[in-house]
Amino acid sequence: MIHWRLIDTGPLDGPANMAVDEALLACFNPELSRPVLRLYGWEPPAISLGRFQLAGDVLDLERCAASGIPVVRRVTGGGAIFHAEELTYAIVCAPHQIPPAVSVKDSFRVLTGFLLRFYGKLGLESRYAADCLPAGARLGERTPFCFAGMESCDVLIGGKKIGGNAQRRLKNVIFQHGSIPIVNRAAEGANFLRHPPARIGEVAGALRDFGERRSAGELKRLMAAAFAESFPGVVTPESLTAEEGAAAASRACGAFAGC
């Protein structure tokens, strides 16, 4: 039986959030560590860049600075995300701690499956983009803004992409995190791009768009329940270890994406 650690760090600022994600990944030993589900939020709002993006190429940094929007870098790839009123998760595990997957794409489905169960608990019908878009629809196109693009394993509700998920693999370690917008602020976030995508409100969705009004605390409770039902084992609430806390503190000042 797999024993998962549930770590709810609550809302943190952008550098602190990315530092905790980095610390959880750095401190994870695939042979000895128990897998982790982390839940968190963002306060104040921030923009995270994919690990290969250059801030000056993607963002209007003067507008970000004038609006007090921190810019940080994720350990995963993908496009920029504006993090505001949302619920965010991170998973750190070894491949042998989750159901078998025949490929990286298959593991992505395995690790995002709990999201579909979570949306089901909210009374919302969700499907992967590859399973519901019409034949010939363009998937996998790289975009500077995460919510403007569509990958095969992106989750759709009512035809709109809700949040984004990204994965990174090290030797025998899988790290994945994703965002679940509660309030739709995609158009606001797009205004910080050098080239804002058109009609972003038509393709990006959030829980409030679909009538969901539960508190963030209740949403986290339902997400943890959906996760426990999706992955056989025990999910136990815990805090960061002393080692993880120290590792996060040492990384916080380096989480800004200055170039």
Q: How far apart are CA 115 and CA 120, in angstroms?
A: 8
Q: How far apart are CA 230 and CA 110, in angstroms?
A: 9
What phi and psi values does residue 40 have, to the nearest 5 degrees?
A: -160, 175
- DSSP state letter for 156: E
Q: Which residues does residue 168 pair with via DSSP β-bridges, in sequence order?
A: 175
In angstroms, the Cα distances linking 79 to 1, 96, 115, 118 are 36, 29, 20, 24
- DSSP state letter for 160: E
Q: How far apart are CA 24 and CA 35, in angstroms?
A: 10
Q: How far apart are CA 248 and CA 5, in angstroms?
A: 17
Q: For residue 208, is it left (φ>0), alpha (ψ between -120 and 50) or beta?
A: alpha
**Is 146 assigned a catalytic role?**
yes
| Residue among 146, 153, 253, 259 flagged as catalytic | 146
The Cβ-side half-sphere exposure at 187, using a 13 Å CA radius, reads 9
Q: Which residues does residue 89 pair with via DSSP β-bridges, in sequence order?
A: 39, 178
Residue in 181, 222, 16, 162 with CA at minimum distance from that of residue 85: 181
Which residues form the catalytic set? 146
